[in-house]
């Protein structure tokens, strides 16, 4: 696969696929511009090469229709401010007006196409739409890791029609860190897996259990594993249909000599209500009418001990309902433990990213991935469709 710094961009029209699916408040103000800032090196490189920069991205789920509150106007405005350079927002995704705008570009100009998902053909990976997008470009660069697990026109279909295709610096960084974590890791390699459900992460668990030295399981999904071991977990979230699968993962770990760490105590309450009474109890003493909503202090100590000799840590998913202060301490404490370790720490998944920010530990992680679904698919051992398309395009 080619990368941007191996390609001739001078004076050429370069179409970039970025993931500018940023959070907006009720007044259309961007509340977190991490995804925009993360691709600035890629854009600046192209500008330094005197390229004509054309930007494509999606925002939200407009389902093939124009939805004003999902316009990329706030993104164009923020990017313009970050670059100190004017960014022209096209009035549409494709069409005669867009073509006119692109054809009038001079080297160093930046044009942003409107939200790709305003056109229903984008998510269908429509060939004609792919061809239209490709017609604007001499070179195509994909730097949208957060969307790399999708097979859409703007990241897969387009690669058939642009003569020169490659990846940007963000994509390179994401794939390089994953290689360090899963292909040639410094060991011991410890995986921390959390979140509410096993179902969304079953393939990742099955793949990683064969690669890691230790696996730490927390969050709501831990209760399915605890129930698989015969522990009564009250009204805690349990996926009954996956208890057998959880048992299989534990059996595989035992055969391979992989140490699996599960909670030994937890914070329980009658409901997720922030005002609800809470108690800290050993796992074996969960009230039948209450539910586990965070890991307890003994578990925090246990999990921290498990990380002490780690050389590589991969983390996906929080340890509890961290959005509510009463159930956020476990995730926050683990964030501090990972930050204080001497390991290469790679973190992914939207919730985990937010939790680390909340704990104030963003700058102390080796790498925080910009992709949730893409991060998970790599943990599952899959090749991302967008990456596969770039490799084919050579």
In which band, very low, low, confident or very high, does the pLDDT at 274 lie, cut at 50, 70 and 90? Answer: very high
Pairing of strands 139-142, 13-17: parallel
C-alpha–C-alpha distance, residues 315 and 92, integer Å: 39
CA–CA separation, 317 vs 218, rounded Å?
8
Comparing 318 with 394, which gets the higher pLDDT? 318
**Residue 141 to residue 173: CA distance in whole angstroms:** 14
Mean pLDDT score, 357-371: 91
Region 116-128 average pLDDT: 97
Residue 41 has a pLDDT of 98
Q: Tell me the β-bridge partners of 142.
A: 17, 167
SS3 percent helix, strand, coil of the chain, rounded to 5, is: 40, 15, 45
What was the pLDDT predicted at 386? 96
Residues 255-267 have pLDDT tens digits of 999 999 999 999 9
| CB distance 23 to 353 below 8 Å | no
In the block, tokens 């998902």 appear at 117
Active site residues: 35, 197, 350, 373
Nearest to 337 by CA among 237, 249, 218: 218
Residue 181: per-residue pLDDT? 86
For residues 201 and 119, which has the higher predicted lDDT (pLDDT)? 119
Handedness of CA 385, 387, 388, 394 (dihedral sign): positive
pLDDT by residue (tens digit) across 217-266? 999 999 999 999 999 999 999 999 999 999 999 999 999 999 999 999 99
User: Average pLDDT of 110-138?
Assistant: 97
φ and ψ at residue 127, rounded to 5 degrees: -65, -40
- What distance in Å separates the CA atoms of residue 367 and residue 187, rounded to the nearest whole number? 17
In tens, the pLDDT along 190-215 reads 999 999 888 888 889 999 999 999 99
| Residue 40 pLDDT class (50, 70, 90 cuts) | very high
Looking at residue 82, its pLDDT comes to 98
pLDDT attached to residue 108:
97
Terminal CA-CA length for the chain: 7
pLDDT reading at 320 higher than 90 = yes
- Rounded to whole angstroms, the Cα distance separating 143 from 334 reads 30
Residue 183 binned pLDDT confidence (cut-offs 50, 70, 90): confident
pLDDT of residue 35: 93
Query: In terms of DSSP H, where are the helices of the chain?
Result: 34-37, 40-48, 73-83, 96-103, 127-134, 169-178, 202-208, 222-228, 243-256, 297-307, 329-340, 350-358, 373-379, 385-392
Would you give the DSSP letter of residue 382? P
Q: How confident is the model at residue 350 (pLDDT cuts 50, 70, 90)?
A: low
Distance between CA atoms of residues 37 and 22, nearest Å: 11
CA–centroid distance for 298 within its chain: 30
What is the pLDDT averaged over residues 321-338? 94
What pLDDT sits at residue 376? 87
- Overall pTM > 0.85: yes
pLDDT for 349 beyond 80? no
Q: Which residue is it, tokens 């409107």?
A: 114
Mean pLDDT for 82-86 is 97
Express as a percent the part of the chain with pLDDT over 90: 88
Determine if residue 20 is left, alpha or beta; phi over 0 gives left, psi from -120 to 50 gives alpha, anything else beta: alpha
pLDDT above 70: residue 394: no
Length, in residues, of the chain? 394
Beta strands in 131-273 (DSSP E): 139-142, 164-167, 189-193, 214-217, 259-261, 265-269
Residue 202: predicted pLDDT: 86
Q: At what angle do helices 350-358 and 329-340 cross, to 10 degrees?
A: 80
Domains contained in the chain, CATH given: 4-172 (3.40.50.1260), 185-379 (3.40.50.1260)
Q: Taking residues 43-52, what's their average pLDDT?
A: 98
């Amino acid at each position: 696969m080619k990368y941007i710094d191996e390609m001739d961009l001078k004076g050429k029209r370069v179409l970039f696929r970025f993931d500018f699916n940023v959070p907006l408040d009720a007044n259309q103000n961007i509340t977190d511009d991490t995804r925009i800032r993360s691709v600035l090196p890629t854009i600046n490189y192209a500008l330094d090469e005197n390229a004509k920069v054309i930007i494509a991205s999606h925002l939200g789920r407009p389902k093939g229709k124009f939805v004003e509150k999902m316009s990329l106007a706030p993104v164009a405005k923020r990017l313009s401010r970050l670059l100190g350079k004017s960014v022209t927002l096209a009035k549409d995704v494709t069409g005669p007006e867009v073509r006119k705008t692109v054809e009038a570009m001079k080297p160093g100009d930046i044009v942003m196409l409107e939200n790709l998902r305003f056109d229903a053909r984008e998510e269908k990976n429509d060939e004609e739409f792919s061809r239209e997008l490709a017609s604007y470009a001499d070179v195509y660069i994909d730097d949208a890791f957060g969307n790399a697990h999708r097979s859409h026109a703007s990241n897969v279909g387009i690669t058939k029609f642009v003569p020169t295709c490659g990846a940007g610096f963000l994509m390179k960084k994401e794939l390089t860190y994953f290689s360090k974590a899963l292909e040639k890791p410094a060991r011991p390699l410890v995986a921390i897996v959390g979140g509410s459900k096993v179902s969304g992460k079953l393939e990742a668990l099955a793949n990683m259990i064969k690669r890691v030295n230790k696996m730490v399981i927390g969050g709501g999904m831990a209760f399915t594993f605890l129930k698989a071991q015969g522990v009564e977990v009250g009204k805690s979230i349990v996926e009954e249909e996956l208890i057998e699968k959880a048992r299989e993962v534990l059996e595989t770990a035992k055969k391979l000599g992989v140490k699996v760490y599960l909670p030994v105590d937890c914070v329980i309450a009658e409901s997720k209500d922030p005002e609800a009474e809470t108690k800290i109890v050993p796992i074996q003493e969960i009230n039948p009418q209450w539910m586990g909503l965070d890991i307890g202090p003994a578990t925090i100590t246990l999990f921290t001990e498990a990380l002490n000799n780690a050389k590589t840590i991969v983390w996906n998913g929080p340890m509890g309902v961290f959005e509510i202060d009463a159930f956020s301490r476990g995730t926050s404490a683990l964030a501090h433990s990972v930050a204080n370790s001497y390991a290469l720490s790679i973190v992914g998944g939207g919730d985990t990213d937010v939790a680390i920010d909340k704990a104030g530990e963003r700058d102390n992680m080796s790498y925080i991935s910009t992709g949730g679904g893409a991060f998970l698919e790599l943990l599952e051992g899959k090749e991302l469709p967008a990456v596969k398309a770039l490799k084919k395009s050579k």
